[in-house]
Amino acid sequence: MTGHPDGTNAPASAAPGAPSFDGGESPAPGAAYLAADGFLEPLLEELADSTATVHGRLVITRAPPRPAAWSINTWLQPRRIAIASIKDGARSLRAIQRNWAVYEHGHHRRAKLIQEQLPHVSAKPLVFPAPAPTAPLGAWTLLDEGTILASPVCSSAFANGEVAFVEDKATPPNRAYLKLWEALTLAGRLPGPGDRCLDLGACPGGWTWVLQSLGADVTAIDKAPLDPRIASLPRVTVRRESAFGLDPATIGPVDWLCSDVICYPERLLRLVHQWKDGGHARNFICTLKFQGETDHASARAFAAIPGSRLLHLSHNKHELTWIYLAPETSAN
């Protein structure tokens, strides 16, 4: 089940034997899921819906929306709109709501012309730690020249789920810091002064730098050395040991446990349970890194932890990010 890798303007493809949404009368889709570039297959495996149709990186289903970690933007209320012209398409979208972002796959010029007639939506990169936008942002695409698929409600406040930042290209030792910036932005909660943070698999220090820059005290754990510029920062303590041999009692309670360590997801799951079930850490941001085949079973186990979120960030590669935030307590 694939889209059109050649970029042609052909209609969306369907699974063998499945009806297509393109052309004629058909039931309205129940949801649509957008995969990040290069990660359509893990999304299709996760959804496991033989009746889904594929439009580029967009997987359209007739079933109601459900959590899908490999979807960077889930279209929660998609509807098909027949249009007679470019002007008609823009008018139809404006009649629903103000803010729209286009996902282009085929019919690029026609899609651009429709989008140009819609109100401008600022796409300036965020300056971290600025909060995520709160204005509703719908998503739409052209299934064919006369059919728009549009959803006024989506899971992401960012166009096509892509979070862009004004990058610091001088200080961090690598670009992994962008994953933590994105995870914290989507979490809507930040470590700060007085918080104790644990960075597992810290080398070369990108995540430690983020946490320290927010004012937190950071203990960085890795057998390999950190970049000396990061290791020498105030409020940073470095311990040259394995994240998996670490005794929580030697660290004490932490407010944030962050892990970008390279390991099999099932091993990370055991570590997370050790720290969470034992009450040693309150908030978690962890990267599940897949080596070879995607370990969907481990991903489901992480997603099943109550109160947590499992996401494919726009800065993730073949990996997912797990976020757990402890319930906030009243200040009374």
**Residues involved in catalysis:** 289
Give the Cβ contact number of residue 138 at 10 Å.
22
Give the Cβ contact number of residue 237 at 10 Å.
12
Both tokens of residue 292? 């070879």
Asked, as a colleague might, if the bond just before 306 is cis with ω within 30 of 0, I would say no
Helices (H) and strands (E) in the chain, counts: 8, 16
Q: Tell me the C-alpha distance between 205 and 127, whole Å.
A: 20
Q: Tell me the C-alpha distance between 92 and 96, whole Å.
A: 7
Q: Tell me the C-alpha distance between 99 and 111, whole Å.
A: 15
Q: Which amino acid is at 210?
A: V
In DSSP terms, which residues pair with 281 in a beta bridge? 254
Question: Residue 300: which residues within 8 A CB-CB, separation 6 or more?
Answer: none
Asked whether the beta carbons of 92 and 64 are under 8 A apart, the reply is no
